[in-house]
Amino acid sequence: MSVLIYTDSADGTLTKNAFEAANYGALLAKKEGKTATAVVLGEASDIDKLGAYGITKVLHVNEAALNNFDPQRNAAIIAQAVTKENATTIIFPHDYSGKATAPMLAAKLDAGLVTGAVALPEGNTVRKAVFSGKAFADVEIKTAIKIISVLPNAVDKQIGEGSVAVENFSCEIPTTRLTVKEVKKASTELSLTEADIVVSAGRGLKGPENWGMIEELAQELGAATACSRPVADIGWRPHHEHVGQTGIAIRPNLYIAIGISGAIQHLAGVNGSKTIVVINTDPEAPFFKAADYGIVGDAFEVVPKMIAAVKKLKG
Amino acid sequence: MKIIVCISKAPDTTSKIAFTDGNSKFDENGVQFIVNPYDEWYALVRALELKEANGGSVTVLNVGDASNDAIIRKALAIGADDAVRIDAPTQDALFVAKQIANYVKENNPDMVLLGKETIDYNGSQVGGMVAAILDMPYVSLASKLDMNGTTATIEREIEGGVEVIETSTPFVLSAAKGMAEARIPNMRGIMAARTKPLNVVAAIAADNATEIKSFSLPPAKTGCKYVDADNVEQLIDLLHNEAKAI
C-alpha cells in the first residue's frame, strides 16, 4: 500500500509546492507504515531531489506532451497510478494544478477530498483552512480512498539523505479537447505563492511613484512584492499582486505589511503567514493585533532604515 | 448559447466568524448571506455578457434548501433568465457535484460556469468534480473567456503567469478575478426578478464523502512586540535571531 503524491513540474523542474506536497506525503507514509510514491508527469530534471524529502519511489511519465497542464488528462493518468500502486491516500499541492486535478480524480474514484490541509491527518480526519483562513475545520473523509491537497507550510520540512528509485510509468494517455496555445510568464518576478518572504504595501505609501523602496527592500530580502486591494483597484499596482480574501491567499514564512491598516478581508489572505511584521503610522491600525512585530512609524523613514539594516546583516 | 451558472450561498465577507453546537456548526446569528462573490462577480456577469453578445440564455443553478431563495433572486435581479434550485440541504462537494452533473446531463448547456471557490469552505472542488463526472474539459482559475462559435479561448492563472488555452463546448470553467466587472442590480432588474421562474427540483440520491466534525479558530497571536521607529536595526535583528525569518 502506498501514499501517492502528485508532483507538478514547470519549465523542466519540479515546483516548490510539489516538494512541499512530497514532504507531507512522505511524513504521512512514515506515520502509517506505507510507501511514499511520487508521480511525475512530463519532463523534470530534478526528480532525484525528491529522495531528500522522503520519497522512495517515483513513477515518471517522461513525455514532452505532458509538459502542458491538462487536469482531465492528468486525473486519468493518476487514476491508473492509484490502481497500480494500490494507493490509499493521494496527496496534491493546493496550487493551480492541484486545485484543478484533485477534484477530477476524486469524482473519478468516488473518493472524499479535503482541500487546503494545514496539518497531517489524525486517522481519517484532516484539518483544513476555512472562511478564507479565519478558521479551521476538522473534516472526516468517509471513503476508503482519501485525497488531500496541501497548503504551503502545512508541516515542518524534514529534509534528509534518501534516494529514489525512478520507474518509467507506461500508461494510457487519453486525448482531450483542451489545447494550450501560449504560456505568458510574468517576467522573472518571484511567484507570490511560492515566496518565503513577501513585502507588501498599501495606501499608506501615498502614490505608485513611492514603490521603489518597497521593491528595493524586497530585492534585498529575496522577497516577492504584494499589495492591498485598494492599491490594486486604483491601479497603483497590478492586480496579480493583490493579496487578501478576494485576491491571492498566501502563507509565507515572513510577511511584512507597510502602510496597510489590516481590514478583515486583507487579514484573511495573509494570516497563515508564520511571522507578520506591521509598519504603520496609526497605532490603532487593526493589523497590529495580528502582528508578531510592529513599528509605529512613517514608512518613508522606516523602510530606508530597514534596507540599510538588511544590507548590513547580509553584507 | 445556453449557459448554466452554479451559484452558492456564502456569508458576507465582513461577517464575524463564530461557531455553535460544540463548535460543530457555523453560527449564522446576525450573519448576512450573499451570492458567493466569485460566482456572482465573475461567472454570472461573464455569462450575461456572452448572452448579450451572442444570444441564448443564462440559468442559475443552486443546490440547497428554501433559505437560499433570497440569494437566487439576487442573481435573477442581476440578469439571469431563470433559476433552478435542487432541493437538498447543502452537503459535501461530491454530493453537490453529483446533483449539478445530473441536471447538466439532462439539459445539455454549452458551458457550465462557477466561481473558483466559495469564500466559506474554500473547497475549490465542485467544478472539477462536475467536469470529471460528465467527462468534459475543465478550465480552472480562468481570468478571461472569449467565444467564437463553439470554440472557447480562455486565459487561466498558473504559477507566476497566465496560460492561453483553447477548448470546445461543452466545458466546465471556474472563474477568477479579471473575468468581468461586478454589476449592481438596478430597480428594473429587482422588480423583474420577482416574476422570473425559480424552479425547484428534487435531488438524486447520493452519499457524502466527507463530513465536518468541528471548527476551531486560529490560536490568538501572543501579542505584538513593538520596536521603536528610531531603532529599526533591532527589528531586523529580531527577525534574524528570534523569528529566524531572514
CATH number at residue B143: 3.40.50.620
Place of cell 481519517: A124
Beta strands A2-7 and A87-93, pairing class: parallel
Contact (CB<8Å) A108/B132: yes
Mean pLDDT over all residues of chain A? 94
Those of residues 84-123 in B touching chain A at CB distance below 8 A are 92-94, 97, 116-117, 119-123
H or E segment and range at residue A78: helix A71-85
pLDDT band at B219 (very low <50, low <70, confident <90, very high): confident
**pTM for the full predicted model:** 0.90
Predicted confidence (pLDDT) per residue in A56-115, tens digit: 999 999 999 998 899 999 999 999 999 999 999 999 999 999 999 999 999 999 999 999
Strand partners, A257: A200, A278
pLDDT band at A189 (very low <50, low <70, confident <90, very high): low
How far is residue A166's CA from residue A23's CA, in Å, rounded to a whole number? 17
Q: What is the mean pLDDT of residues A215-228?
A: 95
Is the per-residue pLDDT at A188 higher than 60? Answer: no
Residue of B nearest to A71 (CA): B138
* Residue at B47 is within a domain: yes
* Residue at B166 is within a domain: yes
Is the per-residue pLDDT at B220 higher than 80? Answer: no
Q: Where are the beta strands (DSSP E) in A28-81?
A: 35-41, 57-61
* Residue at B30 is within a domain: yes
The long-range contacts involving B188-192, CB below 8 angstroms and separated by at least 24 positions, are B189/B76, B189/B77, B189/B78, B189/B79, B190/B77, B192/B76, B192/B77
Instruction: Report ipTM (2 d.p.).
Output: 0.94
* Residue at B180 is within a domain: yes
pLDDT band at B124 (very low <50, low <70, confident <90, very high): very high
Q: In chain B, which residues have their Cβ closer than 8 Å to the Cβ of A107?
A: 94, 97, 128-130, 132-133
Q: What is the mean pLDDT of residues B9-36?
A: 93
Which among A135, A197, A305 has the least Cβ separation from residue B215? A135
Nearest one of B86, B83, B94, B80 to B66, comparing CA atoms:
B86
pLDDT of residue A133: 82
* Residue at B15 is within a domain: yes
Q: Where are the beta strands (DSSP E) in B8-150?
A: 9-11, 19-20, 25-26, 33-35, 57-64, 82-87, 111-115, 138-148
Predicted confidence (pLDDT) per residue in B46-55, tens digit: 999 999 999 9
Residue B206 exposed, middle or buried by CB count within 10 Å (0-12, 13-18, 19+): middle
What domain range is B77 assigned to? 2-216
pLDDT of residue A43: 94
Nearest one of B33, B197, B134, B157 to A10, comparing CA atoms:
B157
pLDDT of residue B230: 93
Q: How far is B245 from chain A (nearest CA, A)?
A: 6
* Residue at B224 is within a domain: no
Q: In chain B, which residues have their Cβ closer than 8 Å to the Cβ of A136?
A: 215-218
Number of compact structural domains in chain B? 1
Instruction: Set out the domains of chain A in order of their start, with CATH numbers.
Output: 2-168 (3.40.50.620), 192-314 (3.40.50.1220)
How far is residue A32's CA from residue A88's CA, in Å, rounded to a whole number? 11
Chain A CB within 8 Å of residue B217 CB: yes
